[in-house]
Amino acid sequence: MNISPDDFGKLFTEFQQEAFRLETLDDYSKSGGVDAYHAFLAGKPQPEEYKSAGWVTTVRNAIEAGRRMYRVHILSRPLSNYLRFELGWGYIRNQAAGEELFILDTTEQPNPLQGVPDFWAFDERNVVSMQYGDFGEFVGAELLPESQAQEWLAHRDEAMRRAEPFAEWWERYKPE
């Protein structure tokens, strides 16, 4: 069942224990932070409004309330321009707000979750499959039946088993 943007947004404030995200794309440049991305590409400083964007507040509020927010991004090197932006600006900012970030680098190993789309899992029962256009444009989301949650949580568990903390990965591979 498609979920409205308002109902999807409510999941980020109403979850009680944890929210997990699996990211699989190399480019989300049409989905948000577009001005910051263009500033990054132009070699300009990070805009102040990007540093304190609404997402940062959402994460900080959840963490301060004792809830966990974490994600795994499946990627391979070399990094796309967008991934250099997302990891170098976005992940650093999100990590400072309290989000736990992990990387599953498939450069030297097969992708164990090939074909699994991006998704969010809230409190191990509400799973939302994310849909994107060809150029990283968010086009919608589907709230999946609770009876399917275990299948998606198995994807989460597999990603977490194979991923490493972002800070450690970034220390080794961040672009110079």
* Per-residue pLDDT tens digits for 15-53: 999 999 999 999 999 888 889 999 999 999 999 888 888
> Considering just the CA atoms, what is the radius of gyration of the chain in Å?
16
Report, at the CATH architecture level, how domain 5-173 is classified.
2-Layer Sandwich (3.30)
Contact 102, 164 (CB under 8 A): yes
Report d(CA 150, CA 107) in Å as an integer: 28
Residue 165, preceding bond cis, omega within 30 degrees? Answer: no
pTM of the model: 0.95
Domain ranges of the chain: 5-173
Instruction: Kindly compute the dihedral angle of the four CA atoms of residues 67, 150, 157, 2, in this order, to the nearest 10 degrees.
Output: -70
What's the chain's average pLDDT? 95
